[in-house]
Structure 1
Amino acid sequence: MIFVEVTAAMLLLGLLLGFVGAGGSGFIIAILTVAFDYPIHTALGTALAAMFFSSLSGSVSHYREGNMILKTGAIVGLAGAAGAWVSSGWSSFIPEDKLGWMTSGMLFSSGLALWFRMVYQAKHGGKSSSGQMKTSGMKYYASAVSIGLVTGALSGLFGIGSTPFIQLGLMLLLGMSMRFAAGTTMLVIMPIALAGGAGYYSVGYLDIQLLIAVVIGTMLGSYTGAKFTKRVPAVMLKTCMVLTPMLGAAILLL
């Protein structure tokens, strides 16, 4: 019965996530821990693994639209997978109460990073600040690997998608435009979510039945919620996008 209730809750949450275009792993963590009393380590592993499925469809869509730099996405994603695999093991050494506070802080930071990304996008009109995207050279490879390791470690440790951080890294360090950063990030998240989820599973913090309930609910809800995105003012949509991770952080502190 609990899994039916989780699916229903994720369906409602998916409506919000689909509306604002967010992965919502932080919100998933908050709901599973506060509303259903799952241990936060299990919630982190489940939310992280669920991101693989939500990112898969987005990656296919962005690839077909030509919004993805495969080479960069592969490098950053593989480095991110390594970071997520290692840091997911570290999570088990952090007490539940402290991990909850730390994850909440990361969600607030994610909201701020998202706001900064919007300001950056408005200032540069969706184009890179340098005017030239980096795709070769030692500096390029070092930057790409660094972005992956750092954001992957954050995802594995706190169960968050790190989407705003990945996009900012791609734009600021690699000179990528907002269009390509958004599409490439979808590809980057997939190996991070897969490796992080596998890491949590290896230490016993991934509930497969719970994962199925979360995936079914969020995917169905997101599909429906996305239909309302174009039906509200842009200002309201951007406000909801920034506040969504912060609201998840606030719930996690309850």
Structure 2
Amino acid sequence: MSAAILALITGAVIGLALGALGGGGSVLAVPALIYLLGFPPVAAATASLVIVTVTSATALFAHARDGHVVWRTGLLFAATGIGPAMLGGALAGRLPPAVLTVAFAAVAAAAAIRMLKPRNSSAGTIRVRPGRAAAAGAGLGAVTGVLGVGGGFLAVPALVNVLGMRMRAAVGTSLLVITVNSLAALAMRAGTADGLDWAVIGPFAGAAILGAWDGKRLSAKLSGHTLQRAFALVLLAVAGGMLLDAVV
């Protein structure tokens, strides 16, 4: 199968995840770019951020149009995460690939387990505290910069479990956080963009954008609980695969 066809198929799946789940795109994009399309790890992280930035911005528009974005909380998350994302991006180049892979798998697994835990039925009424939102946003930005991911697979659990946001609103709001954090991380990875295979990245991103629109429609047909469990199971599968690759 040609690289262009693989890029189209994988991009569509990742766009579907971003549109429906508000995250999970980059956590799937990095392994796909490395193992299916032959990108080196550093180039894969940079290409992933390019793809996820344009895809999440597209999906954000669709969710905002339906009123599923909590702008104040999302912007606070994004603003406090910009600096840590840039610092993390600078640090990432100094860490061994195996360390990044294990850290990537551990963080994804922890987020998935948190999402699978039963929630209090009154969680949707918890008042959002600016200090808590700022601290969570800063931590998310740091992880985004170091691991080269958009951060939606962490933003959704944080918005749901830490801030008490309902799943559908968390999905839309996380896309705002992903877009801003990815742009900040890309700013620190500009030097790694040289030599990227844009003939693969272009179809990948285009298919992801189209997939995001389908994912948005899918999210309207499924319950928040179903989306949450699907999100967590995808994270666990990816985390297990990455960890096996790092230790075997």
> Which residue is 1:78 aligned to?
79
% identical aligned pairs: 20
Q: Distance in 2 between matches of 1:159 and 1:206?
A: 18
Is the 8 Å Cα contact of residues 86 and 156 (structure 1) preserved in structure 2? yes
Is the 8 Å Cα contact of residues 75 and 177 (structure 2) preserved in structure 1? yes
- Residue 191 of structure 1 and its aligned partner are, at CA, apart by 0.8
> Which residue is 2:188 aligned to?
199
AA aligned opposite 2:85? A
> Which residue is 1:65 aligned to?
66
Q: How has the CA–CA distance of structure 1 residues 92 and 68 changed in structure 2, closer, same or farther, with 3 Å as cutoff? A: same
Aligned residue-pair number: 242
Could you say what secondary structure the match of 1:113 adopts? Answer: helix
Q: Distance in 1 between matches of 2:165 and 2:216?
A: 26
Alignment of 1:175-214 (within 5 A): 176-204=165-193, 207=196, 209=198, 210-214=200-204
Q: Alpha-carbon deviations, 1:206-231, whole Å to 9, x = none?
A: 83614323212322344456666678
Normalising by structure 1, what TM-score? 0.77
1:108 paired with 2:109, answer yes
Q: Distance in 2 between matches of 1:181 and 1:234?
A: 10
CA RMSD of aligned residues (A): 3.3
- Residue 92 of structure 1 and its aligned partner are, at CA, apart by 0.5
> Which residue is 2:13 aligned to?
13
> Which residue is 2:240 aligned to?
250
Unaligned 5+ residue runs, structure 1?
A: 135-139
Is the 8 Å Cα contact of residues 108 and 249 (structure 1) preserved in structure 2? yes
Unaligned 5+ residue runs, structure 2?
A: none
Is the 8 Å Cα contact of residues 82 and 152 (structure 1) preserved in structure 2? yes
Is the 8 Å Cα contact of residues 45 and 206 (structure 1) preserved in structure 2? no
Is the 8 Å Cα contact of residues 114 and 164 (structure 1) preserved in structure 2? no
Q: Distance in 2 between matches of 1:8 and 1:149?
A: 33
> Which residue is 1:93 aligned to?
94
Is the 8 Å Cα contact of residues 106 and 158 (structure 1) preserved in structure 2? no
